[in-house]
């Protein structure tokens, strides 16, 4: 067994179950995982710190700190999910009351967030507080989605728990699932998705500009919004020592939903919480080979 495989097995089979028992262990898990992952992947570290320094106009030292914090944020999301998978009854109390507006009565709303903080737990909170018929569209755990076996086992359990808690399955990103998405939207029901999905991970991609850099992102959002004339409500789910907060961003009106407008509405969340955004090293540059 390689050193990487041994670490993945230890992380998901031994350390994560400890984090599931107590939120205090979740913080320890996040810090340890961030330290190991920081050293483990030099290429990812270099790509992330370079991008952070350029996008946020900061020093290399500060960029490195932000990237390491983002690794901890991503790991803490795993620990939090593992904890609430054991304590679903505690999830509601972990979220602060938030002022996110209700969907308009004259049509559906597409809620659009980022890989920042706790997007899946936020989805469950949005369903409970605002929109019981809210559906999540996300890439499935399939053979084309490469990950270590130990991580895949946890991811499959997490998906099953999320679907059971929500009372409905995810919509996948394949063509057959899009038929269900169309029916859902045309019935006036809301949808939730993340805008910062890398273009290399989906069938259709588009080139967008973020912080002056051309990157490739999934291309489906404007098409989905046009299906039923949906507005887009931007948001982010952030985490601090007190718990989670759903933060509302600008709403992009129906008929004006294009990727530049949506990204402009989401960029302030990245500026405000760069240490919680996981995607620093992962968004492919336009024209770059995967």
> Is residue 212, in this structure, part of any structural domain at all?
yes
Assign 245 to helix, strand or coil: strand
> Is residue 285, in this structure, part of any structural domain at all?
no
Q: Which residue from 128, 263, 111 is spatially nearest to 185, judged by alpha carbons?
A: 111
Q: What is the CA radius of gyration of the chain?
A: 18
Assign 189 to helix, strand or coil: coil
* 19-29 per-position pLDDT tens digit: 999 989 999 99
Q: Which of 1-10, 91-100, 217-226 has the highest mean pLDDT?
A: 217-226
pLDDT of 3 reads 81
Lowest mean pLDDT among 33-37, 103-107, 185-189, 215-219: 103-107
Quickly count: other Cβ atoms within 10 Å of residue 287's Cβ.
8
- Please state, rounded to an integer, the average pLDDT across all residues of the chain: 90
Lowest mean pLDDT among 95-104, 193-202, 276-285: 95-104
> Is residue 118, in this structure, part of any structural domain at all?
yes
Q: How many domains does the chain have?
A: 1
> Is residue 287, in this structure, part of any structural domain at all?
no
* 34-69 per-position pLDDT tens digit: 999 999 999 999 999 999 999 999 999 999 999 999
Separation of alpha carbons 162 and 51, rounded Å: 32
Separation of alpha carbons 252 and 230, rounded Å: 9
Question: Percent of the chain beyond pLDDT 90?
Answer: 72
> Is residue 53, in this structure, part of any structural domain at all?
yes
Asked if residues 29 and 79 have their Cβ atoms less than 8 Å apart, the reply is yes
> Is residue 171, in this structure, part of any structural domain at all?
yes
Q: Residue 205: phi, psi to the nearest 5?
A: -130, 160
178 confidence band (pLDDT: 50, 70, 90): confident
pLDDT of 143 reads 66
For residues 165-185, average pLDDT: 88
> Is residue 271, in this structure, part of any structural domain at all?
yes
Which residue range forms the structural domain that includes residue 109? 3-276
pLDDT of 251 reads 92
Cα end-to-end span (Å), the chain: 27
290 confidence band (pLDDT: 50, 70, 90): very low
pLDDT of 5 reads 84
> Is residue 284, in this structure, part of any structural domain at all?
no
For residues 136-161, average pLDDT: 84
pLDDT of 201 reads 62
């Amino acid at each position: 067994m390689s050193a990487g495989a041994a670490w993945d097995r230890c992380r998901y089979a031994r350390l994560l179950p400890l984090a599931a028992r107590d939120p205090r262990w979740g913080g320890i898990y996040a810090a340890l995982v961030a330290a190991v992952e920081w050293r483990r992947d030099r290429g990812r570290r270099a790509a992330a710190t370079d991008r952070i320094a350029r996008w946020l106009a900061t020093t290399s030292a500060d960029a490195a700190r932000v990237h390491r914090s983002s690794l901890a944020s991503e790991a803490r999301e795993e620990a939090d999910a593992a904890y609430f998978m054991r304590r679903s009854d505690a999830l509601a109390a972990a979220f602060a009351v938030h002022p996110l507006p209700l969907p308009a009565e004259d049509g559906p709303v597409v809620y659009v967030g980022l890989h920042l903080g706790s997007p899946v737990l936020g989805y469950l909170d949005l369903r409970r507080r605002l929109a019981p018929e809210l559906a999540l569209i996300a890439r499935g755990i399939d053979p084309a989605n490469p990950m270590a076996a130990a991580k895949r086992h946890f991811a499959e359990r997490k998906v099953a728990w999320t679907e059971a808690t929500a009372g409905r399955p995810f919509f996948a990103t394949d063509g057959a699932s899009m038929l269900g998405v169309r029916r859902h939207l045309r019935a006036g029901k809301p949808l939730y998705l993340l805008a910062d999905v890398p273009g290399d991970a989906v069938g259709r991609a588009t080139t967008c500009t973020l912080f002056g850099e051309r990157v490739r992102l999934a291309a489906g959002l404007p098409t989905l919004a046009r299906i039923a004339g949906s507005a887009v409500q931007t948001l982010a789910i952030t985490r601090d020592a007190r718990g989670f907060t759903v933060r509302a961003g600008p709403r992009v009106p129906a008929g004006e939903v294009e990727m530049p407008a949506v990204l402009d509405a989401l960029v302030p969340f990245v500026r405000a919480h760069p240490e919680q955004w996981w995607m620093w090293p992962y968004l492919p540059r336009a024209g770059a080979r995967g």
